[in-house]
């Protein structure tokens, strides 16, 4: 059973129970109230008769005659009945021997009257009886007239009250059927409308489970379902982002494996080919020297690739120990290596460094600077200049490496930090590059909670800035 059906059934059952219970209580309360009014009126009439008899008891006592007593009591009864001839009232007067003194009843009096049990003088008891398909109220009391006890039974026909109750129940049953039917129709539409939002959530979740992670719930309600829909959309956005990130990571890993395999295959193929050639051909010093040179060159490429990979692995390891160091001191230690590398290509390195103490891992920072300067040198031509600067800017310590080289095209700039990605593959091959330098730089920047900013124009040069925070690494990690 669906939720909207459960809501409809449960609410209809609750409504039927409450509506019926409330209606029955109202009908019974109204009936009991009217019946109580009739009982009070009957008791009052009985007391009135009692009072009338007591008023003439002294006169009856003077005559001291049973016949006179009967005549007087009959006269009082006829006068009373005459005053109430429009009502269904009855009066029965009997003596101690249960002989009838007066009675206007049109029905047989019951042979047993339990209300007479332990009935005292000046006490009135009442009881309801069903006689000949009628319901009558019996009120009984005993009056002492000249040492003779007379039993006065005043009766009222209350059949109409019970007929009214039956009619009310019949009307209520018809009303109950109509009201419950209308309520059922209304609740079917209401419950269906209330759960339509949940159906939308269900359909959207099924669509997302089938792989369409961009699907969203379009619901503008401000109630709890609307809040749930917005939370669901937020969750779906996070899931989509995580799935996209996982897919991107998988693609990067696969591309890394493919590129790494290719980078290994090229020099290994050249080494194996020249080794086989030298092994199968007659000795020729010039040929052998050319072959050895190729093998040596390709071996250096493999060695450089292994060093780059080790640097990349080292950066990603946990437990790096950082200490507060002067950034200028680190640059001074690596500067001779950079100058030597630049001189081989007849390129000038210009440094302009401000002092700044940061929490650093010295060896990794050296690798970072070396790779940035190496990339700048590879992108530059002879007689050009590579600028290495450090400076403070808006509370951050900046490392900037600028060149005047060929620059990076816009379509390549968002790929340059991917492992093995090379903008100019022919130039990278000639420089024994593998496309790992900037990937290593990004990893080093990440462990230092630094940000790398690349600005480049084709044929005008490239500037790579690394933005360091002077805070402790733990504090930086919490920001």
Reported confidence tier of residue 28, pLDDT bands at 50, 70, 90:
very high
* Mean pLDDT along residues 83-112: 83
In degrees, rounded to 5, the angle at the alpha carbon of residue 16 between the alpha carbons of residues 13 and 18 is: 105
Domains of the chain: 3-166 (3.30.450), 319-478 (3.30.565.10)
Instruction: Report the pLDDT value the prediction gives residue 397, as an integer from 0 to 100.
Output: 94
Per-residue model confidence as pLDDT tens digits over 322-339: 888 999 899 998 888 888
Are 217 and 233 in contact by the 8 Å Cβ rule? The answer is: yes
In this predicted structure, the answer to whether residue 479 has a pLDDT above a threshold of 50 is no
Residue 315: the pLDDT is: 59
Question: Comparing 254 with 296, which gets the higher pLDDT?
Answer: 296
Q: What pLDDT, on a 0 to 100 scale, did the predictor assign at position 319?
A: 55
Report how far residue 396's alpha carbon sits from residue 281's, in angstroms, rounded to the nearest whole number: 63
Strand partners of residue 103:
92
pLDDT at 459: 84
Mean pLDDT of 134-152: 86
Q: How confident is the model at residue 239 (pLDDT cuts 50, 70, 90)?
A: confident
Residue 133: its pLDDT value, please? 86
Overall average pLDDT of the 188-215 stretch: 81
CA dist 271 and 264 (Å) reads: 11
Q: Which residue has the higher pLDDT, 56 or 179?
A: 179
pLDDT number for residue 391: 94
Q: How far apart are CA 419 and CA 205, in angstroms?
A: 36
Confidence of residue 399 (pLDDT cuts 50, 70, 90): very high
Sequence-distant (≥ 6) Cβ neighbours of residue 324 within 8 angstroms:
357, 358, 359, 360
Question: Which of 34-43, 120-129, 213-222 holds the top average pLDDT?
Answer: 34-43
Predicted pLDDT of residue 321: 75
pLDDT of 142 over the 80 cut? yes
251-267 residue pLDDT tens? 777 766 766 676 677 67
Q: Are 465 and 391 in contact (CB under 8 A)?
A: no
Asked if residue 135 has pLDDT above 80, the reply is yes
Q: Are 149 and 95 in contact (CB under 8 A)?
A: yes
Lowest mean pLDDT among 167-176, 256-265, 375-384, 388-397: 256-265
Residue 432, pLDDT score: 47
Predicted pLDDT of residue 428? 45
pLDDT tier, 235 (very low <50, low <70, confident <90, very high otherwise): confident
Q: How far apart are CA 72 and CA 251, in angstroms?
A: 121
Greater model confidence, 412 or 40: 40
CA-atom Rg of the chain in angstroms: 56
Residue 221: the pLDDT is 74
**What is the reported pLDDT for 426?**
46
pLDDT, greater one: 395 or 264: 395
CA distances, 291 to each of 159, 283, 285, 287, 418 (Å): 129, 11, 10, 6, 34
User: Whose CA is closest to 438, among 453, 457, 448, 449?
Assistant: 453
Identify whether the C-beta of residue 8 lies closer than 8 Å to the C-beta of residue 184. Answer: yes
Quote the tokens at residue 464: 């790579």
Percent of the chain with pLDDT over 70: 87
At which residue do the structure tokens 């539409």 appear? 189
Mean pLDDT of 275-285: 81
Q: Is 453 helix (H, G, I), strand (E, B) or coil?
A: strand
**Mean pLDDT lowest among 71-85, 174-188, 392-406:** 71-85
Round the average pLDDT of the chain to a whole number and report it.
82
pLDDT digits (tens, 9 = 90+) for 458-477: 888 899 999 998 887 666 55
159-163, 175-179, 268-272: segment of lowest average pLDDT: 268-272
Residue 418 — very low, low, confident or very high, per pLDDT cuts 50/70/90?
A: confident
């Amino acid at each position: 059973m669906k939720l909207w059906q459960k809501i409809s059934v449960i609410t209809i059952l609750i409504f039927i129970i409450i509506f019926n219970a409330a209606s029955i209580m109202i009908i019974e309360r109204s009936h009991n109230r009217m019946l109580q009014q009739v009982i009070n009126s009957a008791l009052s009439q009985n007391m009135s008769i009692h009072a009338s008899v007591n008023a003439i008891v002294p006169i009856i006592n003077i005559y001291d005659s049973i016949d006179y007593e009967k005549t007087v009591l009959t006269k009082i009864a006829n006068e009373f009945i005459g005053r109430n001839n429009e009502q269904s009232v009855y009066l029965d007067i009997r003596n101690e021997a249960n002989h009838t003194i007066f009675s206007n009843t049109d029905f047989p009096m019951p042979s047993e009257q339990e209300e007479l049990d332990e009935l005292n003088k000046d006490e009135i008891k009442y009881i309801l009886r069903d006689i000949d398909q009628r319901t009558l109220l019996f009120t009984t009391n005993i009056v002492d007239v000249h040492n003779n006890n007379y039993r006065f039974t005043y009766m009222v026909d209350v059949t109409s009250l019970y007929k009214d109750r039956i009619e009310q129940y019949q009307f209520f049953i018809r009303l109950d059927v109509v009201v419950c039917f209308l309520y059922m129709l209304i609740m079917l539409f209401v419950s269906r409308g209330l759960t339509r939002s949940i159906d939308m959530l269900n359909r959207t979740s099924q669509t997302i489970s089938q792989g369409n992670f961009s699907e969203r719930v379009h619901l503008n309600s401000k109630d709890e379902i609307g809040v749930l829909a917005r939370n669901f959309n937020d969750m779906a956005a996070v899931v989509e982002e995580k799935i996209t990130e996982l897919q991107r990571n998988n693609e990067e890993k696969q591309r890394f494996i493919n590129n790494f395999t290719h980078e290994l295959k090229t020099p290994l193929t050249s080494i194996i080919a020249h080794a086989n050639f030298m092994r199968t051909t007659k000795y020729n010093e010039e040929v052998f020297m050319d072959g050895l040179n190729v093998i040596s060159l390709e071996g250096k490429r493999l060695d450089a690739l292994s060093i780059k990979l080790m640097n990349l692995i080292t950066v990603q390891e946990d437990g790096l120990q950082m200490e507060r160091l002067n950034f200028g001191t680190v640059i001074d230690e690596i500067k001779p290596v950079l100058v030597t590398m630049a001189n081989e290509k007849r390129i000038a390195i210009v440094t302009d460094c401000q002092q700044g103490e940061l929490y650093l891992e010295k060896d990794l920072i050296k690798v970072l600077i070396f790779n940035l300067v190496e990339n700048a040198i590879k992108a530059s031509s002879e007689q050009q200049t590579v600028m290495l600067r450090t400076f403070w800017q808006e509370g951050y310590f900046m490392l900037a490496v600028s060149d005047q080289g060929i620059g990076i095209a816009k379509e390549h700039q968002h790929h340059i930090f991917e492992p093995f990605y090379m903008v100019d593959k022919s130039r990278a091959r000639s420089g024994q590059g593998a496309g790992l330098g900037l990937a290593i730089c990004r990893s080093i920047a990440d462990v230092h909670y630094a940000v790398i900013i690349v600005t480049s124009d084709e044929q005008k040069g490239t500037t790579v800035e690394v933005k360091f925070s002077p805070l402790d690494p733990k504090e930086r990690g919490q920001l």
